[in-house]
Amino acid sequence: MKNPPDLLPGTLDLLVLRTLMRGSLHGYGIAQRVKELSLDLLRVGESSLYPALQRLLLDGYVKAEWGHRPTTVAHGTTR
């Protein structure tokens, strides 16, 4: 695997929003989609992804809905 590039602040938020524009996904699905779209160059860990989702949720850019299982939360854009 190549060394991951240094990313500018806010890049993860934009990647998450771009990923969710296609439809609602849970956290693992978002991480997998970013990995696929970047051709395995970018990997988003839980310690980065969930704080970004929380930030976007509090700022009103994403919504969260409980899924079919009690531990599953689907995220989607609000705009």
Strands 73-77 and 62-66: antiparallel
CB 66 within 8 A of CB 76: no
pLDDT at 31: 94
Model-level pTM? 0.76
Q: Provide the Cα torsion 40, 25, 45, 43; round to 10°.
A: 10
Residue-level pLDDT, tens digit, the chain, 79 residues: 455 556 667 788 999 998 988 888 888 999 999 999 889 988 888 889 999 999 998 898 888 887 666 555 666 766 6
Distance CA 11, CA 66 (A): 26
Q: Which amino acid is at 65?
A: E
Q: Which residue in this structure is represented by tokens 């395995």? A: 40
